[in-house]
Amino acid sequence: MSNKKAFRLKGIIILLLLIFLALITALYAIGTFDSGKPSGKADHKQTSQGSKKPEDTSNDQTLKIEALVKKTFSLSKDGKVVHTAFISGKTNRKEVNEKWGKPNHISQTARGKYEEYDKYHVVFGYTGEIVNDIRSYVSEIQSISLNEIKKAGGKPDQVRYYQDATNNQIILVYHVTTKTDLLWILPKPTDQNSNPKVDHISVFTHVDKQPNQHLSRSETKTISEMSLEEKIGQMVLAGIYGTTVDTNTQNLINQYKVGGIIFYQDNLANPVQTVQLVNQIKSKSDPSLPLLLSVDQEGGRVTRLPGGLVNFPPNKSIGEVNNLEFSYKVGTILGQELKAFGLNLDFAPVLDINSNPANPVIGDRSFGNNSEVVSRLGIQTMKGIQSQNIITTIKHFPGHGDTSVDSHLDLPIVNKSLKELKELELIPFERAINNGADVVMVAHILLPQLDAKYPASMSKTVMTDILRNQLGFRGVIITDDMTMGAITDHFDIGQAAVESVNSGSDIILVGHDYNKVVEIISSLKKAVLNGEISEQRINDSVGKILALKNNYGINNAKVRNVNIGKLNKSITNLLNEYQNK
């Protein structure tokens, strides 16, 4: 090889070496190589375990939340929540108290007793002594968003809403087993925040009550000491005749031991007479079993109290104002009216949606034809009445707004499916139940797609399957007046009462006719004695009634003369305040 060629080859080799060195330097600079780690796998491991790109960190967090949501769904099927070993539907209160100590707070609601443990961010609800509701507020759960729940859990079986002075929430309900629901509670989505984070979760189990399980010790003792006649009497709320305590009224109280009285305008001539009548009835009743003293005081065209009280506008007008504070204050004054006259139970508010313009019985008694307006205003009116320690009644379940027949005269028929009812009529009732409704009045309407034989007030499908089991109502169920044409023209009234109790009602309302009250009480007693109604079924209803009376501290305390002027001033000021807005 010539010197010239050798020199040229040497130059090429040097050039290649320089290129190779430059390449190695570049690779080191971008981190492809690492000292002692010649392969690319080691470098990948360092990237995943050491410093991460922002998108990788975000990815990991998304995967963690997705896993947490799936874990939450999985645990709920066993009645559990994360970081809590107790089981909804199985654990008893004693076990919780022994392991976690005394709760920080204890509260009593219409749905039962709740115990809060601040340290663990958990609240337990109880049916009797059994945990039936575990609510978790742990920070991990609160990092989950609405979209992440739906992505992992799919479409919820139900969507509920809750609103009070400080909360406006949406509740996603998943039926994870036949008895257990997983509820995700979040702020209601808005334009500003369409994907809110979880406030808390609830694993709620429908616990089958054992005999007297839902009662306090004193209530259990009371029931055990009551005669059958006394227990059946508690389940009847009767109308009376006239403006004084006559022989029949005295018999209802002392002989038949009725649990309550309903007053109509014919009983209430003026404030002085009304106070005398109420005080006289209280003096006749058993102090250990005080009476429910009730009236239909809705405002608008359904008002019973005397004395020239300034009347509130009908609910339809209140619905047009559509102001939560106004509705709450109206409810507050309605409660004050009953309280002033010594009464303790108001058959209000009306939660029917006025969806049928031809409806002869609801009309302007409804807040409107919109489920959202009826729900929001009805609940605030209910809370206002309750604020005065007056028991409320939401009516007329499952919705009387789409009827064209007056149930006072005949039996209305509503040909709607359960799905259709859930999309409209049931919405206000479900929300009110979730907000602590005390009593639900069931209407005399026939819904052939639910029960072709019996109206709602006699239907197990409506009262037990839907109202109790699906909507979770744990309070007192009362029928509409059984002396209405919808019942008396189609059924034997005594047997209708028996069917109603067996289907789930707790109180039979008999608004008129002393003889019909006696007939119903006699029919119920006969049905228990011949085994048609179990005495345990009676005890279950009496337990709910006594618990309601105890929760509100019902007693026989007398009242003084009513200050009509003071009440009217409050009403006028309120109406003027919102008329000018």
Q: How far is CA 228 from CA 232, 234, 537, 542, in A?
A: 6, 10, 12, 11
Cis? peptide before 398, omega within 30° of 0: yes
The answer to whether 108 and 551 are in contact (CB under 8 A) is yes
The answer to whether 439 and 475 are in contact (CB under 8 A) is yes
Closest by CA position to 179, among listed 115, 116, 121, 127:
127
Kind of pairing, strands 391-397 and 168-175? unpaired
Which position among 34, 164, 408, 410 bears the catalytic label? 408
The answer to whether 460 and 425 are in contact (CB under 8 A) is no
| Token pair listed for 217 | 């010790």
Closest by CA position to 239, among listed 279, 293, 288:
293
Closest by CA position to 536, among listed 214, 93, 201, 182:
214
490 part of the active site = no
Burial class (CB in 10 A: 0-12, 13-18, 19+), 393: buried
The amino acid at 142: Q
Distance from C-alpha of 498 to C-alpha of 147, rounded to nearest angstrom: 49
The DSSP call for residue 207 is P
Which position among 480, 481, 506, 540 bears the catalytic label? 480
CA 372 to centroid of chain Cα atoms? 15
83 part of the active site = no
The amino acid at 128: G
Distance from C-alpha of 452 to C-alpha of 417, rounded to nearest angstrom: 12
- Give the dihedral sign, CA 129/130/131/132: negative
Cis? peptide before 349, omega within 30° of 0: yes
Q: Is 429 helix (H, G, I), strand (E, B) or coil?
A: helix
Distance from C-alpha of 295 to C-alpha of 292, rounded to nearest angstrom: 10
- Give the dihedral sign, CA 188/194/200/206: positive
Task: Give the residue carrying structure tokens 């309601």.
Answer: 548
The answer to whether 353 and 372 are in contact (CB under 8 A) is no
- 100: alpha, beta or left? (left if phi > 0; alpha if psi -120 to 50): alpha
**What number of residues does the chain have?**
581
Neighbour tally for 286: CB within 10 Å: 13
Q: Is 28 helix (H, G, I), strand (E, B) or coil?
A: helix
Distance from C-alpha of 159 to C-alpha of 199, rounded to nearest angstrom: 16
Active site residues: 408, 480
